[in-house]
Amino acid sequence: MDAETQTHPVNLILLGPPGAGKGTQARMLTEAFGLVQLSTGDLLREAVAQGTPAGKVAKQVMAEGQLVSDEIVLAILKDRLDQPDTGKGVILDGFPRTEGQAEALDALMLDRGAPISAVISLEVDDEAMIGRIAGRYTCAECGEGYHDDNKPPASEGVCDKCGSTQFTRRPDDNAETVRTRLGAYHMQTAPLIDYYALRGNLKPVPAMAPIDDVAEKLTQIVKEVSDG
Ligand code: AP5
């Protein structure tokens, strides 16, 4: 399947701790299949940057590495899902993160007649995530993600995608906050692995492999669920 031959919407969830590669893989699938990446982390960072009431509340919580309230996240997610470009399918990156969010998502997707096609759980070692996140940076223009060691741009200091020379690092990407984020993942989000396993649509993917190898596995899954 590709963007031209897709016949029904493909709605994916990417589950995994900070640094597992959710954003990296979501962007690659977006390019390959024309699905819309819907990252609640990105949506919240936009709200913070715009200084909206929700953004003002979220700012401190995110800086501490804790989860933003379900109420705020669900409101932001619903607004984005309502936009017309989501009809072909979405990749939920970083959502749901609590059982409350998962239940609300079930209801939302039922309402829209757009069920979740697969829940991909990226399996990684926690300790390696600290190094992945400490080395991460993004293009300030187009948002393309890079890593000091694992994924530098082809030409040093120049974005592969848009040619910009401006890059940014996230304020919550320091070792201390990453440990808090990993703790929040294990306490509040990891239980969703069983939640979706019980519903029969969980696809565990070993994600310590190189980025392109993980992408190949995810591509296979998207093809399977869009043919099925
Ligand atoms: P969010 O923005 O979602 O951050 P996160 O879950 O902590 O995940 P990351 O973006 O850090 O990691 P990733 O898995 O996307 O990894 P990436 O692909 O960049 O959330 C931030 C905050 O917002 C939360 O802490 C919370 O406060 C709030 N929030 C968001 N959603 C929420 C929700 N639903 N409910 C409540 N609060 C919410 O990869 C990392 C690096 O590793 C990159 O440099 C990449 O190049 C490299 N890399 C990727 N894959 C590989 C690989 N296979 N091998 C080697 N290197 C790799």
| DSSP annotation string for 59-95 | HHHHHHTPPPPHHHHHHHHHHHHTSGGGTT-EEEES-
Check: CB of residue 128 under 8 Å from CB of residue 206.
Answer: no
- Backbone angle region of 40, left / alpha / beta, with phi > 0 → left and psi within -120 to 50 → alpha: alpha
What does the pLDDT read at residue 134?
A: 87
The whole-angstrom separation of Cα 46 and Cα 58 is 11
Q: Which pLDDT score is estimated for 198?
A: 96
The model's pTM is 0.92
Give the single-character DSSP code of 35: P
Of 182, 200, 9, 2, give the one whose Cα is nearest residue 97.
182
Mean pLDDT by 10 residues, the chain (228 residues): 64 97 94 93 96 96 97 96 91 98 95 93 94 92 91 95 96 91 97 96 96 96 88
Instruction: Tell the residue number behind the tokens 């959710």, with chain if given.
Output: 22
**Ligand 1: nearest atom to the Cα of 124:** 53
Ligand 1 site, residue 23, Cβ cutoff 6 A: yes
Active-site hit among 170, 179, 217, 223: 170
- 27 CB under 6 A from ligand 1? no
Catalytic site includes residue 136: yes
**Residue 2 pLDDT:** 54
Predicted local distance difference test score (pLDDT) of residue 227: 80
Cα–chain center distance at 6: 22
Whether 22 is a known active-site residue: answer: yes
CA torsion sign, 48 to 51 to 54 to 58?
positive
The token pair at 73 is 């996240």
Q: Is the CB of 124 under 6 A from ligand 1?
A: no
- Taking phi over 0 as left and psi of -120 to 50 as alpha, with beta for the rest, 90 belongs to beta
Catalytic-residue membership of 181: yes
- What pLDDT is recorded for position 174? 87
